[in-house]
């Protein structure tokens, strides 16, 4: 899986995303999850760490 770079407000698939600035991880479990601004450092840049499959849920 490629580690796609994403920005705050991007609608993403369920999975785990990591802040590019401070490495804080967030877990988006909803089908319609939008990436927030990082609550730890205020960054707007994220990358995909792991996408959840149906069997992971």
Each of the 57 residues of the chain gets a pLDDT tens digit; together they read: 456 789 999 999 999 999 999 999 999 998 889 999 999 999 999 999 998 876 554
- Residue 39: the pLDDT is 97
Strands 15-19 and 45-51: antiparallel
Residue corresponding to tokens 């990082």: 38
Q: Give the pLDDT of residue 53.
A: 75
> What burial class does residue 37 get, using C-beta atoms within 10 Å of its C-beta: 0-12 exposed, 13-18 middle, 19+ buried?
middle
Q: Tell me, what's the pLDDT at 32?
A: 86
- pLDDT at residue 55, as a whole number: 57
DSSP summary character for residue 53: P
For 6-36, give the DSSP string: EETT-EE-SEEEEETTT--EEEE-STTEEPP
User: Could you identify the residue written with the tokens 């149906």?
Assistant: 54
């Amino acid at each position: 899986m490629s580690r796609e770079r994403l920005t705050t407000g991007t609608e993403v698939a369920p999975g785990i995303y990591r802040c590019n600035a401070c490495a804080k991880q967030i877990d988006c479990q909803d089908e319609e999850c939008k990436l927030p601004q990082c609550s730890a450092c205020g960054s707007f840049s994220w990358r995909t760490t792991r996408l959840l499959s149906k069997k992971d849920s």
